[in-house]
Chains A and B, each alone.
Chain A
């Protein structure tokens, strides 16, 4: 892919620069309304035009290929999410049961401990590569906005980045003390990556380096739409889960704690399924350990699966964004190619006509 990307940028600069430096003085005044094609035609020779047509065609081939690659990967990302479903469904089922028993008790375990917030860890999920429209920028911007907002309130912000793009951006702007870790997103996030992130988050939170952890990632809405969202990850609220299972969790600042479903807009269906399953949870079930201890084992698991799902969703959005961007690029290349070849044909015809006129005029004068 990086090979293709390199070629793409080279081809792109060829195609768009063309012979414009030769024509520069005669170029039409730059107007945002005029398309690129119109600006450059004035003095292009036939050979220049032929070259441009060639390079536009090549660019289109590359963007088409990248689109197909992204499409195939989106499918793989969706399968990965689907494979994780039995796990999360069972997890919610048991969590629901445990919670019912814990409702009355005052739970005190490290992951649910709400402290006065003095510092916050922002986990920013971007992609590893560019050429995917505004995807990376949207996440980075959302993170920056949140950071500014928190710092405005006098809260210290630490950042953990997942994905090369975010790492490069924050690596330059955040001090070493505040950059907890920079990780790569990889081709397909697995439990290992999620575990690595969750371990960092867990260690930061439990050691009281930070008092709150927020996750910023791109939610996969559909193949053509996705949006960066902010979700608070820690402290987990044991009450929050019950709330969500019943589907009426209302959080003050639109932050979607404990979502149950993942991709392709199947939210309602999924939720219904979960509800029927939770109803089956046997109340006569014996608790081998103290319910608090079981919850203690359950919540890190929940944390991990949350992180994994966010990574998967972020990757799916990235691929979808790339697919879309490449689709647009192919369309543009097609249009541009059509325009330029039209010009080429006209110019060629004009040349032939001139030559014919010259010939007939010459023949007439003999």
Chain B
């Protein structure tokens, strides 16, 4: 009763191993994947992926990308990925608060686009430490 999960960032493979279940942050909401899932392609939002291994749930921060599910193999290609266990809780919290104020203060269109991206990333890291 296992799935193979492979999380790839442009410069490294972040996760390559068996899991029991995964919850992916797709752009249209969270999606659970179990063994025997129908093959599909999905876009991933900036958010937290939860993976259930034999020992428990693990959080992985994903910075947007897409996922491919096929033959009990989940391949996620993301801009950037970080294991939840390697995120520092205090740092994530302060970053999140900072990003929130930056977004609120943004005035020009360019600033808003940038601040929004930064906010989403900070929120994902924050969620990873609070959920885990």
A→B interface (CB under 8 Å): 80, 83-84, 86-88, 90-91, 94, 97-98, 190-192, 194-195, 199, 202-204, 206-209, 282, 284-289, 293-294, 296-298, 300-301, 304-305, 308
In the complex where A207-B110, A293-B27 touch, is A301 in contact with B12 (Cβ < 8 A)?
Answer: no
Q: Which of B49-57, B75-83, B89-97, B123-131 contacts A (4 or more CB under 8 A)?
A: B75-83
User: In angstroms, how far is the closest chain A Cβ from the Cβ of B46?
Assistant: 10
Task: Provide the residues of chain A in CB contact with B31, threshold 8 Å.
Answer: 288
| Closest A-B pairs by Cβ, 5 of them | A297-B43, A288-B42, A286-B40, A207-B110, A207-B109
Task: Provide the residues of chain A in CB contact with B70, threshold 8 Å.
Answer: 282, 285
Asked if B44 is at the interface (CB within 8 A of a chain A CB), the reply is yes
B interface: dominant SS: strand
Cβ–Cβ contact B41 & A203, under 8 A: no
User: 20 other contacts beyond A297-B64, A301-B66, A304-B79, with CB at 8 A cut-off?
Assistant: A83-B13, A87-B8, A87-B11, A191-B10, A195-B63, A199-B117, A208-B109, A285-B40, A287-B41, A288-B28, A288-B31, A288-B40, A289-B27, A289-B28, A289-B42, A297-B43, A297-B65, A301-B78, A308-B10, A308-B11
Q: Which of B10, B13, B66 has the most CB of A within 10 A?
A: B10
A interface: dominant SS: helix
Question: How many chain B residues touch the partner (CB < 8 A)?
Answer: 34
Asked if B88 is at the interface (CB within 8 A of a chain A CB), the reply is no
Of the candidates A88, A97, A191, A203, the one whose C-beta lies within 8 Å of that of B113 is A203
Complex Cα distance A86/B77, Å?
10
Q: Which of A80, A190, A289 has the most CB of B within 10 A?
A: A289
Asked if B26 is at the interface (CB within 8 A of a chain A CB), the reply is yes
Complex Cα distance A87/B6, Å?
11
List CB contacts (< 8 Å) of B10-39 with chain A.
Answer: 10-13, 26-28, 31, 38-39
Of the candidates A94, A195, A297, the one whose C-beta lies within 8 Å of that of B80 is A195
Of the candidates B9, B63, B109, the one whose C-beta lies within 8 Å of that of A87 is B9
Complex Cα distance A284/B71, Å?
12
